[in-house]
Amino acid sequence: MAKKMFVDLERCIGCWTCAMSCKMDHDLADDEYRVTVRTNGSGAGIDRPQGVYPNLRMSWQPIYQKSCTWCAERLAQGLPTMCEYACPTEALAFGDDADPESPYSQALARCVGRHYHVFELPAYENSRDGVVYATRA
Ligand code: SF4
Ligand code: SF4
């Protein structure tokens, strides 16, 4: 049994609201982040997709840092994690991986049912443990 964050990458629009809401809620310094958002598949320039039309590709991926606390103080008050709460597309779902009714388990089951590719980041990324991603296979 462990608390985990599920990230549906098909829902992530790269808005950075998770990162900024975390900074606001935890009063972090300007250069301090507990989650950042990586752009995958970006071509030359800012936010230009890779490839040639109509075969263009760009996607985003929240990367949780080891400094992330899973919002321990919010959970103690019965509140959701701030990044999950603030995400406008419901790309994030946090909860107990042993509880089939938790938001984490429900979101995972939804994506597995759609035959998404489910994965975690490799150790060399040095990111927080307990983050599970899914994307269209
Ligand atoms: S996880 Fe949600 S809040 Fe974060 S960048 Fe993606 S869509 Fe925005
Ligand atoms: S779970 Fe809480 S501490 Fe961790 S990145 Fe999200 S808002 Fe920040």
- The tens digit of pLDDT for each residue in 100-124 reads 999 999 999 999 999 999 999 999 9
Give CA angle at 117 (116, 118), nearest 5°: 105
5 near 134, Cβ under 8 Å? no
Ligand found nearest the CA of 14: 1
Residue nearest to atom 6 of ligand 2 (CA): 83
What ranges do the domains of the chain cover? 3-135
Q: Is the CB of 6 under 6 A from ligand 1?
A: no
Q: Which residues of the chain have pLDDT under 70?
A: 43-46
Paired with 8 in beta bridges are: 134
State residue 112's pLDDT score: 98
Beta strands (DSSP E) in the chain are 3-8, 35-40, 50-52, 55-57, 59-64, 92-96, 117-119, 131-135
State residue 97's pLDDT score: 97
Ligand found nearest the CA of 5: 2
Q: Name the residue among 82, 106, 84 with its Cα closest to residue 96.
A: 106
- Torsion angle in degrees (nearest 10) through CA of 83, 87, 92, 96: 50
Q: Which fold has domain 3-135?
A: Alpha-Beta Plaits (3.30.70)
Residue nearest to atom 8 of ligand 2 (CA): 22
- What is the best residue among 12, 23, 85, 94 to mutate for testing ligand 1's pocket, by most ligand atoms within 8 Å of CB? 12
Would you state the structure tokens that stand for residue 23, as one six-digit string?
Answer: 């900074």
Q: What is the DSSP letter of 42?
A: B
